[in-house]
Amino acid sequence: MKLYGFLTSSDLYQTRAFAASSFTACFLSSLFFLLHVCLSRSVHRLPVLSLHLLLAVVVGFCGLALLVVSLFVFWKLCWPIWRSKALSSHAPPSVKLLEAAMKISQTSPDIPAEVQTALRERLGQQAKIQRQTTDPTSSSRHNSFRRHLPRQMNVTSVDFSMDTLPIRQSSTVSIGRIKPELYKQKSVDSEDGTQEPVETCGKLSFSLLYDYEEQALVVTILKALELPAKDFTGTSDPYVKIYLLPERQKKFQTRVHRKTLNPTFDEAFCFPVEYDQLCNRKLHFSVYDFDRFTSHDMIGEVVVDNLFELSDLSREAVVWKDIHAESVDLGEIMYSLCYLPTAGRMTLTVIKCRNLKAMDITGSSDPYVKVSLLCDGRRLKKRKTTTKKSTLNPVYNEAIIFDIPPENVEQVSLSIMVMDYDRVGHNEVIGVCRTGPDAEGLGRYHWNEMLAYPRKPITHWHALGEWPGRATSFESQGSCPSPKPPQTP
């Protein structure tokens, strides 16, 4: 109960009532005194009827004033009590009320003391949790998500005492500062956050310099270290080929160093290229082991994607790079697909190829393209282009047409094989790619785009992959209804 000096609230209410009553009594006494004076002076002047009328008006006015004063005093005395009762009704139940609630009725037996104590503690904990928790109520649709959380906060296990909370003296100093460690992300290359090791085959050292007068890139191959042994004697006969991609027409090759795993080359090569075009070029080093009687074995390769990685090439910059194992780079092929639903005709136009793998000893190939129409692994028809002699970047611009009815367009696919023609012996497969509803990646996307835009040629570059071999030849048995040409009206 709140105190005002030495008076309690009940004493204060009594004081207010006494003051109001005194004020009312004084007011009425003064009013009657004035009335008496007025009547005594005017009694001999007014008639009897006027006197009675004046007296009734004065008494009525006094009664009305007394009623207003009484209502004001009553409101002043009762309003604080009503307000305190209204506030107490919204407050949490006290311990006495909880204890009173434990008894069902006046005639029923009392609950045992142990049960009362346990129930009192449980109700007290629930009331404490309701006062302390600040988590918003969540709907049932989030329950499934919370079940998968790694850990949840238990409200009952949180210590809210201020004694156990450490106070940091430097908290005011760090306000507004950016902490870079909060923005660092773990590597996603593997599940445990560590990158998978890449197989290396030694190191290669070279330098880069741009000659502004000659407008050429000068590449000096310095040395190689820790090359793997390719011969039975435990050594190798290494040499290096260098390309400036995406063009492969011009290449350079170092001398062969006999029986060494740490060769020193010190050979410089110049690639005529404008300085503005260097940002679109890549350097490709291929390290080979020379073999007199068989094909040369590839030790590894180095690819420099950014020529300005270390400097602007105005001064000679020496670079060390790891030699990685050979990656499969068989080249790319560009072709377009166009389908006419009304005529049931599909046109595949072989446009060109680039950066094909060299299959001949001379470092070039004689490529041609063979296209097969497949259905459930069975080859129905095949067509091929002309052969381009001694080139790794052939240009064809040749159209191949297949008759495919609309009802069978979802059952067939196309196999594109880039072959190397040999005058003696069998032709070798350089690389293959596939397009159709059962293809993967770009092959399926190209096919679906062709069907989505009929009567319109859709062109894409496709990377060539390795041919799986004769084990999965397209000549395997299968059942598929042969496509029929559309009926002429």
Extents of the domains making up the chain: 200-324, 332-472
For residues 253 and 290, what is the distance between their CA atoms, to the nearest angstrom?
Answer: 12
Structure confidence at residue 41 as a pLDDT band (50, 70, 90): low
CATH number of 200-324: 2.60.40.150
Better pLDDT: 37 or 225:
225
May I ask the CATH class of domain 332-472?
mainly beta
- Exposure b/e, 216-254, CB count within 10 A at least 16 = b: bbbbbbbebeebbebeeeeebbbbbbbbbeeebeebbeb
| Average pLDDT rounded to a whole number, residues 461-482 | 60
In this predicted structure, the answer to whether residue 31 has a pLDDT above a threshold of 70 is: no
Better pLDDT: 195 or 379:
379
| Average pLDDT rounded to a whole number, residues 18-38 | 64
Per-residue pLDDT of 417-457, as tens digits, reads: 999 998 877 888 999 999 999 898 899 999 999 999 999 99
In this predicted structure, the answer to whether residue 221 has a pLDDT above a threshold of 70 is: yes
Mean pLDDT for all residues in the chain: 73
Per-residue pLDDT of 346-364, as tens digits, reads: 999 999 999 998 888 777 8
Which residue has 């190397």 as its token pair? 420
pTM of the predicted model, to two decimals? 0.38
For residues 93 and 411, what is the distance between their CA atoms, to the nearest angstrom?
Answer: 76
In this predicted structure, the answer to whether residue 289 has a pLDDT above a threshold of 50 is: yes
Paired sense of beta strands 395-403 and 378-384, if any:
unpaired
Running DSSP on this structure, what letter comes out for residue 7? B
pLDDT of residue 255: 92
Better pLDDT: 232 or 290:
290
Structure confidence at residue 377 as a pLDDT band (50, 70, 90): confident
Do 200-324 and 332-472 share a fold?
A: yes
Give the helix, strand, coil percentages of the chain, each rounded to 5.
30, 30, 40
pLDDT of residue 48: 57
Residue 225's closest CA among 263, 199, 259, 255? 263
Beta bridge partners of 413: 374
Q: Which amino acid is at 96?
A: K
For residues 431 and 459, what is the distance between their CA atoms, to the nearest angstrom?
Answer: 19
Give the rounded percent of residues in the chain with a pLDDT score beyond 70. Answer: 58
